[in-house]
Chain A
């Protein structure tokens, strides 16, 4: 449970780096700006969970060295 909250906090911190002019189109769910994404992650709804899953997928790939920086 505490780990979930830590992960949410990490994702929120990462989302805070998004500039204000950027929105994300998420399939049929619509478009979301930074503040909306952060609110969804904090709430833990379907969109929030998806954002957490996608961010973790990215971070785990970085850890495994799958992403090339060449």
Chain B
């Protein structure tokens, strides 16, 4: 049986994963406020050995993977493959998984569900977001990346609130749409419109497989 706790991984070893690390503090603050039990693996802690051991011993119901990936795997620190298709997908049996690892929903997501993962949410292609060169030292002040990462966070928070996977996915899609429309207005930063195509790409590549009624 899975327990009502979640695991979140942050390789935090390049600019992209650092942005995810900074922006998802909002999620961890939410979990702390609600008294939700979670464990965070950060930097060199994000190894296959640590992740497999935690999944097996602590049996978290929900797992969030931040990092890189490809069609068949999810990576940890320094690109170590921590979940691989046809290798160790069983580690995610009966869990809800959100993978912000590019393209991992493509083949791995479906394969995990076939092998027992209750629901797998991810992206069928690369997750693309703009950053402001002048804000790279303070990602939380980067207004260009905010609308994208806010939409991703909305999904995690919705799941933590106890909503179903389908409802959480719809909530995230809704934030993508709301932010998209907002960026078309004159109040948005002038840089934002020039990369708006990336937001539609992310929104339309965000998918889930498995049981849409599953809850955390």
Contacts and interface: CB of A to CB of B under 8 A. Distances in A.
B200 A57 contact: yes
Interface residues of A, number: 28
Contacts of A50: 125-126
Interface residues of B, number: 37
A57 B125 CA distance: 13
Contacts of B196: 58
Contacts of A3: none
Contact of B69 (A19, A22, A25, A28): A28
Given A14-B197, A22-B132, A30-B15, 20 more contacts: A18-B195, A19-B190, A19-B191, A19-B194, A21-B134, A24-B195, A25-B15, A25-B19, A25-B131, A26-B126, A27-B69, A27-B126, A30-B16, A54-B128, A54-B198, A54-B201, A61-B200, A67-B200, A68-B177, A68-B181
B14 interface: yes
A18 B14 CA distance: 23
Contacts, number: 91
A55 interface: yes
Report whether over half of chain A's contact residues are helix, strand or loop; otherwise say mixed: mixed
Interface string B141-175: 00011000000000000000000000000000000
A21 B14 contact: no
Contacts of B37: none
B133 A23 contact: yes
A70 interface: yes
Contacts of A21: 132-134, 191
Contacts of B84: none
B184 interface: yes
B74 to A, nearest CB: 11
B58 to A, nearest CB: 28
Interface string A20-46: 111111111111010000000000000
